[in-house]
Amino acid sequence: MIRNLLCVLMAILALQSTAQQVSSDLSEDIMLYAEINMENIRQKANLETIKENIIWNKLAKFAFGRDSIDVDITGLDISKNHRFFLTNSDNVFSTNVSLVIKDVVAFESFIQSCNITGRHNEIENTGSYSSFSIDQNTFVAWNNAIAYVMKGSYRPSAVTDFTNMPYDDEESYEEEEIYDEGEVEDVQADVEEAIIDSAAYIFDYEAEITYLESIIVENEEYIKSLELDIKQSVENIGTYRNDIEYLKKYHEYPPQAPIAETEEVTEETTEEDDMPLTFQEEAQNEYVEEITTEVYFDEETFQILKTYSDLKFEQLFSAASPTVFFSNFQTKKDPLADVYIQADYNEFFTNLKKLSGGNPALNNPGLAYLNMFSDLMKTNYAANIYFREKSIESKMYTLVANQELKNDLIKMYDPKFDKSLAKYNRSSDLAMYSFSLDSKAYLDFFLNIDKYGVDEEGSSVKGIMGFVFETMRVAFDEKALSDLMTGKGMFILHELESREVSYIDYQYNADDTMTEVEKTRSTVNPGFTFVVKTRNDGYWARYFDMMGRSMMGNLEINRVKDFYMLNLGENSPVESLFFGVHKGEVVLSTNQQDIDILFGYEKGGSSAQLKKYLKKHPNSGEMKVSELAHAVYNELKFNDSGDNQLKNYLLNNLGNVKYRNDVVNNEFVSQLDYEIKEGWPNSLQYLFDMLETLITMEKKNE
C-alpha cells in the first residue's frame, strides 16, 4: 500500500515538473513556421486535384494516422490557408498543423474515428475549445472555426552538471555524516513497525498458484517462438555453407533460380487449404496477429505530452486570432506568395544545446565553441515561394538581428562585376557560379569574428579562441592576402565527358591461382575552369615557376609557352590540368582553350544577355540539371527495370536551376528559380505530377 502511494506521488511530481518545464510561451518555442496560401493555390490547381493527390494522403496519414482520407467527410475546408510549425520546449518536440473547419459536427465524428488505441477516446470540453487524443503522441483541439493537430515526442532530461553531484570525490564522501543518532533511532522504529505488519500479513497461496501458472504459459509461448527461430537459423546455415563452397570453386555466388510466374488465385479451396497447420505455423500466425493488432501505448509519455499540448492549446485559443498569434513569423510574408516559410536559426541552435542536456561545455565541446558566435546565430530566414507558369521561384531573406554584424557582412559584397571574367563562358556549359566579394572586408570580418560571441564568466573556450584569433591578426597581412585574391572570380563546369579507362582486376582459376586481368570501365571526367582576379601577378608567376622547376612526387609538370601543364595520367578522373597568370587573372583549367583565351591566343566570348545578367547579379549561378543528370546517370548501371523506369522519368522531366545572392536596400536577398520542362500548365501542377509519380514508382519498387 505504501509503495503504491509513493508511485502515485512520484507520478504527480513528475507531471507537475513537466508542466513547469513546458509552460513557456509557445510563440517563443517555434523554430519553423510555414503557411500555404490556398487562395492562390486554387487558381493553379483545382480542389479535386488536391484531394486526389497522393501528397495530401501522405499528410493525412501523418496527422491523423489514416492511409487515405475522403476530405468531404472530415468537416475540413481545405480551400482555406493552412499553417504548419515546429516547436521545441525543453523535453518535448512537436510538429503542428492548423486547419479550417466548415462543419464541426462532421469533424468531431471524423476525429473520434481516428483513435486507434481505444484509450482516452472521449472528447474533453473546455470553455473555449474541445480536445481529443488520437494516439499516444497526437492531440487535436478545435472550436467552431479552426483545428490544431499537435504530434509530439518526449525526450527525458539528461544529467549534465556532474560538478554539483554529492560525493564527487573521496574526501567529501569521508567528511559527510550520513546519519545522526536521532535519525538512526527513527530508522530502527520503522523497521520494527514493518516487522509487526509482516506478522499480521496472511499469505494468499491461491493467488501465488495463479501467478506461477501464468509464468509457465509465457515460457511455453517463448519456447515456441525459439523453435521457429532455430529452424530458420539451421536452414540459413545450410544455405551459407553451400554458398561458401560455390564461392571457393567459381568465385561468384550461385545463379538464382528463375522466379516462376504466379498463377491467378481462385476462390476454390485446395487440399492444402484443408491441411492442419504445423506447430511452427501456428506459432508464427499467433505472433503476426499479435504484432498487427496490438498498438503500443506508453501511459507516462502520453500524460507528459498531453500536459504539454493542453498548455499550448490554451495559448493558441486565447489569442485574438491566428494571424495575431503568428505575427512575429510573418516578417517578410508576401500576400501574393503561394507558400511562406520562416525559420528561427537561434531557436535551432538553442535546441541543439538542449539536446546535449543544456550544458554544451560538458556534453559537446563543439557547441561550446559555437556559443562564442552567439550573435551569428541570432538570425531569421524567410522565404516566399511562387509557382509561376514556367518556374518555381523562391525569394529568400536573411534577417540579421545585430546591426554591427549586418553592416560588416554587407561590406563583404562587391556589387561591381568584372566583365573580363565572362569571356570564359560558353553556351554549352553545364554549370556556372560567379562571385564578387571584397576580400579585404572578408578577412577583416573573419579575423575579428570572435567579437560577436558571448564572454561567459569563467569560460576557458572564450580565452583560448580569443588568443587564436589574436595570433592570426598578428600573423596575417590582410592587405597582401587581399591583393593575392581580390574576391572576384568564377567557376565553370564545361562538360562531363564519358571516357574508357583501364584497370587491373584479379581472377582465380580452378586451382585458386591468382592472375592479373586488364579490364576497362567507363568514367565521367569533368571539364572545368576556375578563374580568380589578382593584384599580384608576380607572386603567382614565381609560384608557378617554382612548381614547374620542382618534382611533385611522380607528377609531371611542363611549361608550355607562358603557362604550365600538369599531367595526372589517362586513368585519372582529370587527365591534365593547365594553369597560369596574366593581366590580373589566375586560371586553373582542364582545357587548354581557356588558357589560350587568358593569354590572348584565342578570342573568348559570351552572350550579351549573360554579361548583362552578371552585371546586375555578380553573385549568381546556374545549373543545367537535366543535362548534368544525363551525363551522370548514363554511367550508372541499373539492373532493375523499376530503377531504370525511375531514372528515365527523371531524365526526361528535370528542369534547370538559377541562383542569385544580392544586397537590396541593406538586406540580404537570395533567389532560386527552378525552370520546368514544357508540357504542364504551371509549375504547381508539374510539382504535383512529379512527386506523385515518384512516390508511386518507389512504392511499386518496394
Give SS3 for 500.
strand
Bridge partners of residue 495, in order along the sequence:
527
Lowest mean pLDDT among 105-114, 192-201, 570-579, 685-694: 192-201
Q: Is the dihedral of CA 623, 628, 630, 636 positive or negative?
A: negative
Q: Is the pLDDT of residue 534 over 90?
A: yes
Q: Is the pLDDT of residue 557 over 50?
A: yes
Per-residue model confidence as pLDDT tens digits over 6-54:
343 333 333 333 333 343 456 678 889 999 998 888 888 877 777 676 6
Give the residue carrying C-alpha cell 569521508: 174
Give the confidence band of 608 by pLDDT, cuts at 50, 70, 90.
Answer: confident
Alpha carbon distance 529, 63 (integer Å): 49
Per the CB < 8 A criterion, the answer to whether 699 and 692 are in contact is: no
Average pLDDT (619-630) is 90
pLDDT of the residue at 168: 41
Give SS3 for 696.
helix
Per the CB < 8 A criterion, the answer to whether 75 and 81 are in contact is: no
Alpha carbon distance 173, 109 (integer Å): 62
Task: State the DSSP H helix or E strand holding residue 385, giving kind and residue range, or none if neither.
Answer: strand 379-387
Cell of 212: 506461477
Reference 49, options 685, 695, 699; nearest CA is 685
- Alpha carbon dihedral 193, 196, 200, 206, in 10-degree steps, equals 80
Residue type, 534: T
Lowest mean pLDDT among 36-45, 225-234, 362-371, 687-696: 362-371
Q: Is the pLDDT of residue 290 over 80?
A: no
Alpha carbon distance 347, 343 (integer Å): 8
Lowest mean pLDDT among 54-58, 172-176, 251-255, 516-520: 172-176
Between the ranges 89-98, 279-288, 411-420, where is the mean pLDDT highest? 411-420
Between the ranges 271-285, 368-382, 407-421, where is the mean pLDDT highest? 407-421
Per-residue model confidence as pLDDT tens digits over 135-154:
888 999 999 999 999 999 88
pLDDT of the residue at 411: 93
Q: Is the pLDDT of residue 363 over 70?
A: no
Average pLDDT along the chain? 77
Average pLDDT (427-455) is 86
Alpha carbon distance 131, 139 (integer Å): 7
Percent of the chain at pLDDT > 70 equals: 74
Give SS3 for 493.
strand
Lowest mean pLDDT among 30-44, 204-218, 348-362, 620-634: 348-362
Which runs of consecutive H residues, i.e. helices, occur in 200-266? 205-250
Alpha carbon distance 663, 192 (integer Å): 81
Reference 585, options 536, 528, 621; nearest CA is 536
pLDDT of the residue at 74: 87
Give the confidence band of 275 by pLDDT, cuts at 50, 70, 90.
Answer: low
70 DSSP assignment: -
Is pLDDT larger for residue 627 or for residue 555?
A: 627
Q: Is the pLDDT of residue 283 over 80?
A: no
Residue type, 468: V
Q: Is the pLDDT of residue 386 over 90?
A: yes
Average pLDDT (452-472) is 68
pLDDT of the residue at 185: 56
Between the ranges 363-367, 605-609, 647-651, where is the mean pLDDT highest? 647-651
Cell of 268: 476454390
CB neighbour list of residue 571: distance below 8 Å, 6 or more residues apart: 501, 502, 503
Q: Is the pLDDT of residue 594 over 70?
A: yes
Give SS3 for 502.
strand
pLDDT of the residue at 656: 94
Per the CB < 8 A criterion, the answer to whether 41 and 684 are in contact is: yes
200 DSSP assignment: T
Give the confidence band of 319 by pLDDT, cuts at 50, 70, 90.
Answer: confident
Q: Is the pLDDT of residue 167 over 50?
A: no
Cell of 506: 584479379
Lowest mean pLDDT among 421-430, 464-473, 649-658, 671-680: 464-473
Cβ atoms within 10 Å, residue 260:
6
pLDDT of the residue at 54: 64
Average pLDDT (157-163) is 45
Give the confidence band of 449 by pLDDT, cuts at 50, 70, 90.
Answer: confident
Alpha carbon distance 146, 76 (integer Å): 9
pLDDT of the residue at 241: 80
Cell of 662: 544580392
Bridge partners of residue 503, in order along the sequence:
519
Per the CB < 8 A criterion, the answer to whether 397 and 383 are in contact is: yes
Give SS3 for 9.
helix
Q: Is the pLDDT of residue 251 over 80?
A: no
Q: Length of the chain, please?
A: 702
What is the DSSP track for 415-459? ----GGGGGG--TT-SEEEEEEB-HHHHHHHHHTGGGGS---TT-
* CA distances, 362 to each of 160, 172, 352, 359 (Å): 7, 22, 14, 6
Class of residue 563 by CB neighbours under 10 A (exposed 0-12, middle 13-18, buried 19+): buried
Average pLDDT (618-623) is 94
What's the distance, CA 617 to chain centroid? 30
Q: Is the pLDDT of residue 198 over 70?
A: no
